[in-house]
């Protein structure tokens, strides 16, 4: 039997263990940081000067100070010290400062982009897989500059959103 869970290293309470409440409380503190994670900002390479209890940050690369060796982890200030949770692939966290979701893919945190196969609103797909390029209008029997400009603007907008090549 191991002493901790496989994914988030939450400590188990073992038979005959003294001070079981310490292990239980440590597990609760880690769950509190990882469950529906929300970070103040980051990733940051150094701990903030005046953290508030319960606030979390993503530790950046080449971390310094109390965060040394914790690159990529979620750091949570408890009021008496730092607790760290190593992220697992698929973990998401809300970045409060940037107002966007961050996604951990197993090697690092995203820049706010999230992988998705499609986006649905109200049960209707509004964005799906990327489609091939649409050729711009040219030639034809009747030339209408305004119609061509409108179609070209639609194509440019679809391309800028990444919906077509």
**How far is residue 84's CA from residue 69's CA, in Å, rounded to a whole number?**
11
Mean pLDDT of the chain: 84
Domain map (residue ranges) of the chain: 36-103, 119-160
Average pLDDT over residues 15-19: 80
Whether the per-residue pLDDT at 47 is higher than 80: the answer is yes
**How far is residue 30's CA from residue 12's CA, in Å, rounded to a whole number?**
13
**How far is residue 148's CA from residue 151's CA, in Å, rounded to a whole number?**
5
**How far is residue 76's CA from residue 99's CA, in Å, rounded to a whole number?**
19
| Per-residue confidence (pLDDT) for residue 138, from 0 to 100 | 73
pLDDT bracket for residue 1 (50, 70, 90): low
Beta strands 38-39 and 92-95 are parallel
| Per-residue confidence (pLDDT) for residue 57, from 0 to 100 | 95
pLDDT bracket for residue 114 (50, 70, 90): confident
Whether the per-residue pLDDT at 164 is higher than 90: the answer is no
Collapse the DSSP code of 67 into the 3-class scheme (helix H, G, I; strand E, B; otherwise coil) and give the result.
Answer: helix
pLDDT in tens, 66-98: 999 999 999 999 888 998 989 999 999 999 999
Specify the long-range contacts of residues 42-45, CB closer than 8 Å, at least 24 apart: 42/95, 43/72, 43/109
* Higher-scoring residue by pLDDT: 98, 141: 98
């Amino acid at each position: 039997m191991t002493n901790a869970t496989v994914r988030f290293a939450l400590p188990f309470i073992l038979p005959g263990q003294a001070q079981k409440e310490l292990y239980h409380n440590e597990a609760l503190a880690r769950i509190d940081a990882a469950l529906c994670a929300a970070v103040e900002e980051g990733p940051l390479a150094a701990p903030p000067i005046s953290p508030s209890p319960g606030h979390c940050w993503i530790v950046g690369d080449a971390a310094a100070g109390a965060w040394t060796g914790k690159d990529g982890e979620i750091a949570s200030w408890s009021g008496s010290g730092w607790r760290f949770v190593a992220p697992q692939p698929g973990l998401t966290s809300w970045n409060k400062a940037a107002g966007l979701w961050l996604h951990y893919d197993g090697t690092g945190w995203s820049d706010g982009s999230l992988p998705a196969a499609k986006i649905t609103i109200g049960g209707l797909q509004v964005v799906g897989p990327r489609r091939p390029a649409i050729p711009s209008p040219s030639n034809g029997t009747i030339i209408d500059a305004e119609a061509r400009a409108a179609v070209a603007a639609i194509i440019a907008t679809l391309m800028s959103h990444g919906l077509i090549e």
